[in-house]
Structure 1
Amino acid sequence: MVERTSGSHHKGGSRKMAKRNTICAGIDTSKDKLDVALDGSSEELQVKNTAEGHQELVEWLKRHKVKRVGIEASGGYEQAAVAELRRQRFVVIVFQPIQVRAYATFHLQRAKNDKMDAALIAACTAAVKKIHPAPDPRLQPFAVHLTMIDQIKEDIAKLKNRLESCPDERIQKFWKEQIALLAKHRRAEFKALVAAIRKHRDLAARLDLIYSVGGSGLPTAVAILIRMPEIGQITREQAAALTGLAPYDDDSGKHVGARRIDGGRQRLRQALYTAALPASFRWNPQLMALYSRLIAAGKGHKRALVACARKLIVIINAVVARGTPWVAEPPRTASVSVT
């Protein structure tokens, strides 16, 4: 552990710390170490990114009466530290790198190193006005498992491309065997994942609600459950934005640009876009009507599918919020004739 402190004689830091009711810390993460800084203070810490280092970090934060901790997402290297901090009841905010760099740009800060980044993240943490609830910790191992299943699917696609361009029959046979083996593993892993989810009654009930929506097959329903824990607790606009399916304006002065989707959770967006094709052609009457209307209005196939994918997540969000399974059409009110 490497700790540096200036004590109470650091007047500028003391005044700034006194102005804040909530003491905030920032953590810059790398594979081997964590650099930590306090907002409004020159005190800093460096520990190893290990279980022992995390314990030292917790003790140091408690000693300085830190309540809120910000940490930058770093390819998964931050996950163990985040889990431990949340277990210790700290309020943890995980920033995307683009958020931290945008904050630095706003303050015209060009210099960059690990210690400076930790201080910058601490300032970002203190500036946050709205703090979202921490995601369900049960979903984290499911997310890792689902990513592995997705990666197997990607490997199968790569092998199929190699198979198509390979003229050698012996090598073709090898690629076919590998594809069959990976496909078998993928089916087994997905079955195990669903079984693990169904051990939790509340998660199983939520999965069934998502699965009830026409066009949301079981793989899509699992992806939404795991990769969008906010489902059913947010607005339709927020649901579209989180999935990266919300169209954004590109207007300035007299310029009126085309609206485009951007951002969001990439793997989740891919799952919804994949589901939108069969849903809008066969399984969901609402999406079928939407697709036909957009095509008739001159919209392209891909643009119509994006709109259907957005409509699909909006429907699913409403179903989960309501807590009752989806029905293709609302029940008709029985008419009573008076004679």
Structure 2
Amino acid sequence: MEIVVGIDVSKERLDVAILPQEEVFAVGNDHAGIDELAERLKGIGVDAIALEATGGFEMLAVAGLSAAGLTVLVVNPAQVRAYAHAIGRRAKTDPIDAAVIAAFVLATKPEIRPLRDAETQALSELVARRRQIVQMIVAEENRLRMALAKQAQKSIKRLLKALRRELESLDADLDSHIRKSPVWRVREALLTSVPGVGPTTARTLLAELPELGSLDRRQIASLAGLAPWTRQSGKWKGKSFIGGGRGKVRAVLFMAALVASRYNPDLKAFRDRLVAAGKPKIVATVATMRKLLTIL
């Protein structure tokens, strides 16, 4: 019989539910609490542990439990909520949420893919922080263009200087992190050998899409949110669209596809053929993103 653990994550604690035993308890969302949880779960031989993505509060638990050799899944909160409504679980408390997460995994049996280990998680956090710094720089540059008072302009320029220094420091940290792992060095070199793929795209893919290379083209496109969704009912057929998946991956692939459409001869010819055939430019770009991902 499968033993599945659902964990509801908050900033301070982890509410844990074990099914089918219906055991419920809580531990702290810190190193000590996660170590205690790992030892307890290893003792009962669980098959899978599931947590919702909660904006970063789950990261320490995912890294710690994975490092302990346990099978950890990070599930989509929207899917769990839809499952809860489907089975009539309207009540909402942390222990109930943990039990619903475990029941969701037992019912849907999601595919277990290789999880990011602690080193990969650290890389992911560095990439995410770099993205935040870039967004702050863009915001301050926009404010500088709008500022009229010299004092305001000076303040913005000082902050921009500090942010750019921080960006350089983060890039150095990323370089150091990549160099520490021979596997990542090889993978980064391989990814950046494709025209249109630079270090930022390569590192984002390494951090956010560790399954790259282990899935077929349809599976990896679906995981990245690049598989078109068909809308059809009876004789009516609406336009297909993309969505879901990993937004950070899709964002860097969009920029890479734009560059590749100019400098990668194969992808440029591919996109030009689609546009010549009457496809809208955005559709041709999405198809180029999917083609680029398949190549990678």
TM bin (shorter chain):
over 0.9
Q: Mapping of 1:296-307 within 5 angstroms?
A: 296-307=276-287
How far apart, in 2, do the equivalents of 1:147 and 1:125 lie? Answer: 28
Deviation at 1:30, TM superposition (A): 0.9
TM-aligned CA distance change 1:192 to 1:36, over 3 Å? closer
Deviation at 1:97, TM superposition (A): 0.6
CA contact (8 A) 1:93 1:125 kept: no
AA aligned to 1:100 is V
- Identify the match of residue 129 of structure 2 among 148, 159, 180: 148
Q: C-alpha offsets along residues 165-196 of structure 1, whole Å, 9 cap, x if unaligned?
A: 11223322332332233223213321330232
Q: Which residue of 1 aligns with 2:259?
A: 278
TM-aligned CA distance change 1:189 to 1:96, over 3 Å? same
How far apart, in 2, do the equivalents of 1:300 and 1:179 lie? Answer: 38
CA contact (8 A) 1:194 1:222 kept: no
AA aligned to 2:182 is R
Q: Mapping of 1:208-287 within 5 angstroms?
A: 208-281=189-262, 283-287=263-267
- Worse-superposed segment, 99-108 or 27-36: 99-108
Deviation at 1:254, TM superposition (A): 1.6
Q: Which residue of 2 aligns with 1:118?
A: 98
Deviation at 1:87, TM superposition (A): 2.6
AA aligned to 1:228 is L
TM-aligned CA distance change 1:229 to 1:45, over 3 Å? same
Q: C-alpha offsets along residues 255-306 of structure 1, whole Å, 9 cap, x if unaligned?
A: 111111101111111111112212102x101111122122222223322222
* Structure number with larger C-alpha Rg: 1
Residue 46 (str. 1) matches residue 21 (str. 2)? no
Residue 175 (str. 1) matches residue 152 (str. 2)? no
Q: C-alpha offsets along residues 3-22 of structure 1, whole Å, 9 cap, x if unaligned?
A: xxxxxxxxxxxxxxxxx2x3
TM-score, length basis structure 2 = 0.92
Q: C-alpha offsets along residues 215-268 of structure 1, whole Å, 9 cap, x if unaligned?
A: 111221121122111111111112222222222111111211111110111111
CA contact (8 A) 2:113 2:211 kept: no
- Worse-superposed segment, 98-107 or 253-262: 98-107
Q: C-alpha offsets along residues 134-178 of structure 1, whole Å, 9 cap, x if unaligned?
A: 224321101111111111110011111111211223322332332
Q: Mapping of 1:16-165 within 5 angstroms?
A: 20=1, 22-127=2-107, 128=109, 130-165=111-146
* Total equivalences in the alignment: 295
Q: Which residue of 2 aligns with 1:184?
A: 165
How far apart, in 2, do the equivalents of 1:70 and 1:196 lie? Answer: 28
How far apart, in 2, do the equivalents of 1:62 and 1:246 lie? Answer: 37
How far apart, in 2, do the equivalents of 1:301 and 1:177 lie? Answer: 40
How far apart, in 2, do the equivalents of 1:201 and 1:60 lie? Answer: 34
Deviation at 1:62, TM superposition (A): 4.1
How far apart, in 2, do the equivalents of 1:191 and 1:62 lie? Answer: 38
Residue 204 (str. 1) matches residue 178 (str. 2)? no
| Contiguous gaps of at least 5 residues in structure 1 | 1-19, 317-339
SS in 1 for 2:180: coil
Identity %: 40
